């Protein structure tokens, strides 16, 4: 498992929390419905081998 870079982005009316693993082209992982970043726990490290995999969630 690679260590993620964790941060937050403040936008009008919300704060988006995110983590990025890997380097290369950005692959943005967006969960559907009521899902959260944990939806991608099983695949994030594999994807980070070839791209910068970014997961995001709101708090």
Q: Is the pLDDT of residue 1 over 70?
A: no
Percentage of the chain modeled with pLDDT above 70: 92
Q: Supply the pLDDT for residue 40.
A: 87
Range 2-15 average pLDDT: 87
Output the CA–CA distances (angstroms, integers) from residue 30 to 47, 57, in the order listed. 14, 8
Q: 10 versus 38: which is more confidently predicted? A: 10
- Residues in CB range of 25: below 8 A, 6 or more apart: 51, 52
In whole angstroms, how large is the CA radius of gyration of the chain?
11
Three-class DSSP category at 8: strand
Give me 2's structure tokens: 């690679």
């Amino acid at each position: 498992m690679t260590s993620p870079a964790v941060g937050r982005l403040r936008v009008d009316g919300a704060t988006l929390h995110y983590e990025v693993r890997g380097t290369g082209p950005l692959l943005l992982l967006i969960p559907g419905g009521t899902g959260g970043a944990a939806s991608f726990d099983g695949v994030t490290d594999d994807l980070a081998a070839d791209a910068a995999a970014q997961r995001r969630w709101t708090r």
